[in-house]
Structure 1
């Protein structure tokens, strides 16, 4: 009796592996970035419709606040956070499968905190508490709110940073390399979420409306695209 696999079965197995790899490398990125393009196009038409004060036609359809990626609860924000949630779930699974991958569990916690902040409006609640304590007359002042955002995320870094550093150096070499890649993605994400947002807050009401709209669109586009790249990086880490 012959042992081992027949040539036909080996060919089928190799073909299946090649198909799965092709889906991973080409199909998932194509789908995710296509959704990004559609949502950002809708976001563009939202801002354009507001600028021309469209009341009917194509542009008026996108004037609803749900197409404004700068607002909590918008479709763009929900899709971005959905990607972060999927990334967190994948990282937890990778952590469970890799004995020296505890840093991935910490990164999953970081992503959950980012999602929770927006869904539970944590830094907005902090703003209200500060307003009540300091009796600030106009909390809607954009530069002041930007400072509060920095304060909130600075506190999160102080709390979670040491945990991330310790888990990073207690993980294996491959996991540390993956963690460094995740850190690079999160750093770029913070440039848009905090940096560009801070610049926009500083020029709010002090520059042309078109410039402010362009800055908001830049922030929204940057955040969404980086979140997509982050999910794809996590998916690649899970396959390695």
Structure 2
């Protein structure tokens, strides 16, 4: 076992992370229940608090989308702080850039805008039951992620073994996010004409809920390392202060 891995295991996960995990999980659950109530309200033409359009998780700038984007931006800020605190951790800054791009894309509807431009400019194909709009969105996502992905490859090679290990963990969490955001979305598009509304609603809620949970896990993973690093820094500062105090005390005793 190398030194960086021993150092990482020596830093226990602060109890604060469990408070954050419970709090964020409850918020996720509340928004998903609101989404379910909104679907039911629309289905049965019910008016009320949950008929408000922002409860629909698939709508742009819905409550779910805003929370997810906020979590990605928060994770990006923490990663930038970790980049400054640690040596050979430049890969964290590349992940921060990717998360900011993902958040801005969601809130500013960049992939929808890009899709409209590509659809009106080029003759886009429509394979496997997809629409030209869907192909345009996929191409826009690929274009938006190109620069962050190149930076990830470059900075990954220049980072420490611990940072690379955390980078692989982040990659796994992002793959889970992509599986829900893109994979289930494509499944919904291909089967929507042949399924009853209850199954389509279930697919939509699984997609939105899966995305939100994945973004919550990303934030919790980054936050756990941030809190662990902060606790380790505080412990090192306290140890250094104690050693300095012992040195001064010893010097005073010698002078007497």
TM range (shorter): 0.7 to 0.9
- Out of 10, 20, 42, the position equivalent to 2:34 is 42
Structure 2 gap ranges (5+): 1-11, 230-256
CA contact (8 A) 1:102 1:167 kept: yes
Counterpart Cα distance in 1 of 2:194 and 2:84: 51
- Out of 21, 24, 43, the position equivalent to 1:29 is 21
Tell me whether 114-123 or 171-180 shows the greater mean CA deviation: 114-123
SS of residue matched to 2:51: coil
Shift of 1:166: 1.2
Shift of 1:40: 0.5
What's the counterpart of residue 204 of structure 1?
192
What's the counterpart of residue 180 of structure 2?
192
Counterpart Cα distance in 2 of 1:42 and 1:133: 39
Counterpart Cα distance in 1 of 2:67 and 2:107: 13
CA contact (8 A) 1:143 1:198 kept: no
Q: TM-score, normalised by structure 2?
A: 0.78
- Report which structure shows greater RCO (CA 8 Å, sep ≥6): 2
CA contact (8 A) 1:46 1:63 kept: yes
Counterpart Cα distance in 1 of 2:117 and 2:130: 17
Cα 1:76–1:218 change in 2 (3 A) is same
Q: Deviations over 1:22-54 (max 9, x none)?
A: 222x21101010101111100111111112222
Q: TM-score, normalised by structure 1?
A: 0.83
CA contact (8 A) 1:142 1:204 kept: no
Task: Find the structure with the greater CA-based Rg.
Answer: 2
SS of residue matched to 1:70: coil
Structure 1 gap ranges (5+): 1-17
What's the counterpart of residue 155 of structure 1?
143
* 1:181 partnered with 2:190: no
What's the counterpart of residue 93 of structure 1?
81
What's the counterpart of residue 68 of structure 2?
80
What's the counterpart of residue 206 of structure 2?
218
Counterpart Cα distance in 1 of 2:123 and 2:178: 30
CA contact (8 A) 1:84 1:227 kept: yes
Aligned residues: 214
- Out of 121, 127, 130, the position equivalent to 2:115 is 127
Counterpart Cα distance in 1 of 2:178 and 2:74: 19
Shift of 1:210: 1.2
What's the counterpart of residue 231 of structure 1?
219
* 1:53 partnered with 2:61: no
CA contact (8 A) 1:84 1:231 kept: yes
CA contact (8 A) 1:103 1:167 kept: yes
Q: Deviations over 1:42-89 (max 9, x none)?
A: 01111111122223xxxx321211100101111111011111111000
SS of residue matched to 1:62: helix
Any runs of at least 4 consecutive aligned residues in structure 1 with deviations exceeding 6 A, and if so which? none
Counterpart Cα distance in 2 of 1:146 and 1:192: 15
Counterpart Cα distance in 2 of 1:54 and 1:215: 22
